[in-house]
Amino acid sequence: MAIAEVSIIPLGTKTPSVSEYVARTCRVLQEDKNIKYELTSMGTIIEGDLEEVLRVIKNMHEATFDEDIMRVVTTVKIDDRRDKTVSMKGKLESVLKKLER
Amino acid sequence: MAIAEVSIIPLGTKTPSVSEYVARTCRVLQEDKNIKYELTSMGTIIEGDLEEVLRVIKNMHEATFDEDIMRVVTTVKIDDRRDKTVSMKGKLESVLKKLER
Amino acid sequence: MAIAEVSIIPLGTKTPSVSEYVARTCRVLQEDKNIKYELTSMGTIIEGDLEEVLRVIKNMHEATFDEDIMRVVTTVKIDDRRDKTVSMKGKLESVLKKLER
Amino acid sequence: MAIAEVSIIPLGTKTPSVSEYVARTCRVLQEDKNIKYELTSMGTIIEGDLEEVLRVIKNMHEATFDEDIMRVVTTVKIDDRRDKTVSMKGKLESVLKKLER
């Protein structure tokens, strides 16, 4: 299981707002049953099998293009740990536990 | 007001776990009264005046070095919007509102 | 054609040096005939069909794991422009031309 | 000495091209005597004292705003190694040497 964070920026949007495009990429995620995700104010965090995570990120990237949007810059950070099973929840709890001490 | 996401990776940690170092950077944030922050499973999101945000990120980066850690890779993404006041909460709500339609 | 930049960090390397691992990912690229790439001091820039670029990045990521490395953090930035053919060379020249003015 | 890579994206540019804005950030760098830099097709790599590097990146970020551009997304990756003196040139050579073997 890998955890990835993705942030997708459409260029040439006329206005500074891009939330409409972020919503569109969320709809791609909502249709995917094998992927867990969490929306943050700076991107979307996805948990799943690495192959599937990359596939869904490609779909999110493609969904951002339309007749007005001819350029998309997508940033992906993949955190892939194989000595133990990781999850979005587990990673966060591990830090919070250390903070409590 | 800018919103920034920061992710700090210490190199040469012997084990794959770095949550101890993430906790240390959170303590830097906890001591700062001018900064709002939110911990996610992939980084830390910070809201505040751009100058202050950059200053606290530098402090978080410095706090990661110790006698064992001689290399730190820090990634920062700054989202700075000046046509209206933005916040972590406002950005997220703007996308969620569009998803409800 | 998309242009992507990839940076791969192995965690738990005992020493701060990771150039051995970067070299390993370069060997993956050298074996690929459909991909153009350029090594910089901060990452590797890859040019090619988006599908192939993502496939080769996955291979580079996988090649970083071994019996010592159980965690890999890979960052990818994809710049995908579809109103005209872009290239690493063309993007750079476009900025340099504007600087000459 | 730290090495940083910066990539600055103006939002709401009407057209997909942003090379004019990249050129503007390069002019900020050209005026700075304490900073070494290198332009790539995916960003700008900067070498210098960490404090100065962060200051110049803030200046590049600010220079991107104008009457048309009200939102700027800036991504920075800082590679800071303190067990030995590093440079853009040295990092690249270290990988190339390993590739020759």
Q: Does the distance separating the beta carbons of C23 and D99 come in below 8 Å?
A: yes
> What residues pair up with B4 in beta bridges, in sequence order?
B46, B78
Residue in A90, A76, A84 with CA at minimum distance from that of residue A46: A76
pLDDT, residue B101, reads 81
Chain C interface includes B14 (CB < 8 A):
yes
Instruction: Give the neighbours of chain A: at least 3 Cβ pairs within 8 Å.
Output: B, C, D
pLDDT per position as a tens digit, A78-95: 999 999 999 999 999 999
What's the mean pLDDT in D75-88? 97
B:22-61 residues touching chain A, CB 8 A cutoff: 22-23, 26-27, 38-43, 45
Sorted by sequence, the CB contacts under 8 Å of residue A88 that are 6+ apart come out as A3, A36, A38, A45, A47, B41, B42
Higher-confidence position of D33 and B56: B56
What pLDDT sits at residue D1? 87
Q: Which residue has the higher pLDDT, D101 or C11?
A: C11
- What are the domain boundaries of chain A? 2-100
Specify which residues D76 forms β-bridges with.
B76, D6
> Given this model, what pLDDT does residue D11 score?
97
- D66 pLDDT band, cuts 50/70/90, is very high
Phi-psi region of D78 (alpha: psi -120 to 50; beta: other; left: phi over 0): beta
Q: Is the pLDDT of residue C98 over 90?
A: yes
Residues D77, D91: Cα–Cα separation, whole Å: 15
Q: What is the pLDDT of residue B28?
A: 97
The mean of the pLDDT values for chain C is 96
Smallest Cα distance from C82 to chain D, Å:
9
Taking phi over 0 as left and psi of -120 to 50 as alpha, with beta for the rest, C35 belongs to: beta
- pLDDT above 90 covers a percentage of chain C that reads 95
- pLDDT given at position C82: 97
Cβ-nearest to A80 among C50, C61, C83: C61
- With CA atoms as reference, the chain C residue closest to D80 would be C16
Query: Does ipTM surpass 0.85 in this model?
Result: yes
Q: Residue B16 and residue C12: Cβ atoms within 8 Å?
A: yes
| Interface-testing mutation among B18, B42, B44, B97, with chain A (most A C-beta atoms within 10 A) | B42
**What parts of chain A have a pLDDT lower than 50?**
none
> How far does the CA of residue A49 sit from the closest CA of chain C (Å)?
12
The 10s digit of each residue's pLDDT in B18-66 is 999 999 999 999 999 889 999 999 999 999 999 999 999 999 999 999 9
| Secondary structure of residue B90 in the 3-state scheme | helix
How many beta carbons lie within 10 A of that of residue B58, not counting itself? 17
Place of tokens 């996955």: C58
Contacts of A76 (CB under 8 A, 6+ apart): A4, A5, A6, A57, C74, C75, C76, C77, C78
- Scanning chain B, the segments in alpha helix (DSSP H) are 19-30, 50-64, 88-100
Dig out the tokens for A6 from the structure: 């993705």
- Say whether D80 and B58 touch across the interface (CB within 8 A): no
For C11, the closest of B13, B70, B75 (CB atoms) is B13
Tell me the backbone φ, ψ of residue B81, rounded to 5 degrees.
-120, 130
Distance CA B51, CA B61 (A): 16
Per the CB < 8 Å rule, is A78 touching C61? yes
DSSP code string of D7-69? EEEEE--SSS--HHHHHHHHHHHHT-TT-EEEE-SS-EEEEE-HHHHHHHHHHHHHHH--SS-
Query: Which residue of chain D is at minimal alpha-carbon distance from B62?
Result: D80
pLDDT score for C101: 81
Does the distance separating the beta carbons of B11 and C18 come in below 8 Å?
Answer: yes
Q: Closest approach of chain A CAs to the CA of C17, in angstroms?
A: 19
Rounded distance between C-alpha atoms, residue D72 and residue D64, angstroms? 7
Q: What pLDDT, on a 0 to 100 scale, did the predictor assign at position C1?
A: 87
> Which CATH architecture fits D2-100?
2-Layer Sandwich (3.30)
pLDDT tens track for D1-19? 899 999 999 999 989 999 9
Alpha-carbon distance C34 to nearest alpha carbon in chain B (angstroms):
30
Of C16, C70, C75, the CB nearest to B11: C16
pLDDT of residue B99: 94
The pLDDT of residue C22 is 97
Say yes or no for a CB contact (<8 Å) between D3 and C40. no
Q: Please count the other Cβ atoms lying within 10 Å of the Cβ belonging to residue D15.
A: 12
Q: How far is D67 from chain C (nearest CA, A)?
A: 20
pLDDT of residue C72: 98
- Report the alpha-carbon distance of residue C81 to residue C87 in Å, rounded: 10
Whether the CB-CB separation of B38 and B44 falls below 8 Å is answered with: yes
Q: Is B60 helix (H, G, I), strand (E, B) or coil?
A: helix
Q: Is the pLDDT of residue B79 over 90?
A: yes
Residue of D nearest to A10 (CA): D11
For position C94, what pLDDT does the model report?
Answer: 96
More confident residue, D101 or A64: A64
* Amino acid C45: pLDDT: 98
